[in-house]
Chain A
Amino acid sequence: MSGSNGPKPVIELADIHKTYGMDGTAVHALRGVSLTVPAGDYVAIMGASGSGKSTMMNIVGCLDVPTSGRYLLDGIEVEHLSDRQLALVRNRKIGFVFQSFNLLPRTTALDNVELPLIYAGVGTTERRRRARAALELVGLGERLNHKPQELSGGQQQRVAVARALVTAPSLILADEPTGNLDSTSSADVMALFDRLHQAGRTIVLITHEHDIAEHAERAIRLMDGQIVSDERNGERGWISEQHRVQHGSV
C-alpha cells in the first residue's frame, strides 16, 4: 500500500507463513499470506474448513504468532512479542467476538463487558460507565444484570459484541459470529456490525456463509493457506481489489 492517499492501515500482513509440527509431519496452514486492511474497512475472510482461516484469525487476533513473515497491527510489530506483550496488545487493540459467545458463566452481562477493562486497569466508576454505555449501544440497556444463561443466543452474542467494543479497540475480530444463531438473531447481530462499520470501526469477519459476507465491503477468499481472491463490494457488484487499487491509482 502506497499509503499517503488512504487511511492508516490497521492490519499489514506480509508473506505470513504458519507451519504446525516438525519436518516430516509438518502442516502448512498458511503459505505466504499478504494483506492490508485500512482503518474503517469491513472485511470478510472466507474459506472452507482447512483453508487456513482459523489460523489466520489466530494470528490476526494475536492469539498465535506466525512462523515467518511480518505482521503490523496498528503499526506495532507483533510477530516477536512476548506472551505478556501479546496479552497487552489483545487487550488494547482487539475486540473478539466468538462463534460460541464465550461469556463467563454465572457472571452478569455488565461484569462480562467490564472484564477487558479490568485487565486494562480502568477504575471501577469509569469501567461501570463504559460497560453500561456499550450494552446500551447493542440494545441491552435493560439486561445489565442478567447472567448468560438467562439470555437468548442473540442477546448473548450482543453482550459479546459489547465486550469487544468496550475497550475501543483498533480492530473488531469476529469468528463465525452468527454460526450458533437462528436467522432472526443473525440478522440482529449483523445489523449491529453494519452500524459499527458506519460508525467507523474496523471489522474483520471470519465466515463461510455468503449472505454474512455480503454485509462486508470486502471479501477475501482463502484456499490451502493462500489468498485466492480479494474483492470489494462496489456499486457494480464485487470487483477485484487488485483491479480497483490499480484503477484508483491511475
Chain B
Amino acid sequence: MTHPNASRRLFLRHAAAMASVLGPVAAPFALNLSAMGSAAAQAAPDYKALVCLFLFGGNDALNMVLPTDADSWTPYSAVRNQAPDSIALLAPGTVPNPGAAAASPARLGGVLPILPTNNQGRSFALHPVMGTLQTMFNNDKRLAILPNIGPLIMPTTKAQYAQSSYPKPASLFSHNDQQNTWQALGPEGATRGWGGRMGDMLASMNARPVFTSVSASGNAVWLAGDSVQQYQVGSNGAIRMGTDGSGRVFGSADVGAAMQRIVSATRGTHVFERDMAALGRRAIDAEVALRTALKPASDGLFGTAPSSGNYNANNDPKLQYDNPLTGGKSFNSLAQQLQIVARMIDASSAGGVQARRQVFFVSMGGFDTHDNQNRNHADLMARLAHALRYFDTTLGAMGARNAVTTFTASDFGRTFTSNGDGTDHGWGAHHFVMGGAVRGGDLYGNFPVLGAKNANNNNFDSSPNQLGNGALLPETSVDQLGATLGRWFGLSDGQLLDVFPNLANHSAGRRNLGFMA
C-alpha cells in the first residue's frame, strides 16, 4: 500500500533529517541512504491511529493550563501561594531568576501565553517549561486544549453533585478506580476499554488483529476490547524469545522448537495455565512478524545513528529533554515509548502487520504531587512537552501527522488548594489533543471559573465549577472526548453510543466537541 508521493516526501524529509544530524560527513550518509531505500514501509493512505498518553497519578492541570486574566489570576495566586513552598506559578513575562531554587516558580519565570482562536473573554498560558507546546498551539495549530474534562454519567451542576442520589461515577478521587474510569468507563474491575472497543469495531480493516491495539507501556485496560487484546511491545521493539538467530537454545534446534510448543500451550486444563500459554503464543508470533517489519530505532526517522558502536536510546539526542532540575539534558523515557509507537506506525503496512486502524497506549508516572510539587511537576511538564514535540516532529518526517491523533488522559485533576508544597486528589482537569487532523490553537469547552476560597471552610462558593478544596467539577465528559475521536477514527453514531453508553445523556449537538477536522 505504498503511496508514491508520500514515500517521496518521506524520503526527502528523511534525507534532510539525516543530513542535519550527520552534517557534511558523506560516507555514512550514503550508507544510510541506501539502507533506507530498501525498507520504505509507509502507512496506508487511509491509515489512522489514536494514541492515549496517560499521566499516572493525577496531573495538576491547574498548573499546566492557566487562565491569566485578573479575575482568575488573583485567586490563583492567593490560593496557591502557601508556606513553606509556594506552588503559584508567576505571571507571563516574569523574568527567570537564575539564583532561585531549581524548578521554583521564580527560577522558571512566567507562564507562557497562548492565544486561543476563541478566548472566551479571558487570557491563557501554559506552564513555563512548555515552550514547544506554546509554539504548537499558537503557530502550528496542531494542539487543542479540552478544559475541565473528566468522567461523568451525565451533565452535572454543583447543586446536583450535592445530591447523594444524583448519578456520579463510582469511587471518585481514588487513583486506581479513576484510572480505570478514564480508560474503561467504570471503576477497577472493568475489563473493556474504549480504545479496545473501537478496535473491535474496526479490526476487520487489519490483516493481523494482534497489532490493532498496542501498548508501549504496561498493561492498559483502555486497549482491551471484546475480541481485541492488547499487544505489549518493548520500548526497543519486540523481544525474541529464547532462541538464537538459528532457532536454537543451548545449541539445539530441537530444544528451541520444544520451547515454543511448551510456552505456547498447556497440557492441562487449568485456566491460568491456558491464559499464560496464550500470552506466550502471542509473544512468539508477534515478535516473528515484527522482526523484519520494524525499522531500527537508530533510523534517522526516529532516532540518531551513533557515530560508532550500538544504538543506545539513552544517548540519543532526539530522546533527551531539557531537565529543569539540572539545567542539562536528560533521557526521556516517554519519548522512547513514542519512538516505538512511531516505528510501529511506520511498519503498519509491512507484510507481517498490515494495519489500517491502530490504538496505542503510552504513559508516564509520578503525577501524584502531594508534596515537593514544584520540582516534580516541572520535570514532568518538561518531559511531556518534549515528548509531544518529538512525536509531532517524527510523524511529520514520516508524512503521518494527519493520520495520528494523540490525547492526554490522567486519573483526575487536583485540588486548587495547596497543602504547603503540593495538591490533593481532584476530578476535572484540562487535557491536550495533538495531531495534524486536530483543529488546534483553540479551547473546546468552557474554561472553568477559578474562585476564592471561603474563609470558613474549604468551599469555593464563587465558582460554579469548583467543589471542596477547589477541585473541578467536570463540564465535559470523557465520553464526549472519546466520541469525537471515535467519529474521526471511523465509527458510526450507533457504534459510538455502543462504546459510550452515557453519550446518550448529552444532547446530540454536544456529542461531537468539534476539535477534529
A-B complex is real: no
Residues of B in contact with A (beta carbons under 8 Å apart): none
